[in-house]
Amino acid sequence: MRLPEMELLGSFLGEGWKERFMNKRKKEGFFITLEGPDGSGKSTQSLLLARYLKRKGYKVVHTREPGGTSIAEALRRIILNPKNRISKVTEVLLYEAGRAQHTLELILPALQDGKTVICERYTDATLAYQGYGRKLDIRMVKELNRIASSGLQPDLTILLDLDVREGLNRVRKISRGRMDRMERESIRFHERVRKGYLEIASREPGRVKLITVKETPQKTHLEIVKVIKKLVK
């Protein structure tokens, strides 16, 4: 984390934040993210994972992006409203603004308190959707991610993978046709997003664990539990 971000984080969390955060996080807290194309079941699986870890005695914070705080949720409504015409640069900056607030207000304090944070989407989503999907400069997106996240990276990322058309059909069925602005993008866009996710997984196999979506949510959950058991006791 560079000096400007450290100063910003320090002003938000108070004196001695770094020592408290690092000590407690090493002892207890984990930062777990769930990623994947639209319709892959991130919300369902994050809920199942949160319940599983709570039963194991962990203090869990379940959150999402865009969103997680009042400001970030307001930005979410702007970003996903299909009536809004948003340029791709404006879009990525809105996502990053929400992430900056979310990270400083919710995620980092929770980790500082030794809690396990489970987040639906984080920086990988921006890289996949705005970098690969929108074809924005990858280096620029990575730098924006670094700034907005204050340099925070997940300890573990579960990447749920399934065919793009199947995923969008699931979304269409669940939403009864009321798809948001991102879900309404073209098949080609969503295929680029999926390709981006798979490239991220191939480059960071230690952090990103690829799980093919199964026939039922419970079967997929069991695959996730196998991964989680290697991380937590």
pLDDT digits (tens, 9 = 90+) for 12-42: 555 555 554 454 444 358 999 999 999 999 9
Q: What pLDDT, on a 0 to 100 scale, did the predictor assign at position 42? A: 97
Domain range enclosing 43: 3-9+16-226
pTM recorded for the entire structure: 0.87
In a domain, 207, yes or no: yes
**Number of domains the chain contains:** 1
In a domain, 231, yes or no: no
- The CATH number for 62's domain is 3.40.50.300
Q: How confident is the model at residue 110 (pLDDT cuts 50, 70, 90)?
A: very high
Stated as kind and residue range, the H or E segment containing 173 is helix 164-175
CA dihedral 95→165→204→98, nearest 10 degrees, is 10
- pLDDT higher than threshold 50 for residue 206: yes
In a domain, 105, yes or no: yes
In a domain, 140, yes or no: yes
Q: What pLDDT, on a 0 to 100 scale, did the predictor assign at position 6? A: 53
Helices 164-175 and 187-203 pack at an angle, to 10 degrees, of 120
Q: Tokens 């910003």 map to which residue?
A: 8
In a domain, 108, yes or no: yes
Contact 164, 122 (CB under 8 A): no
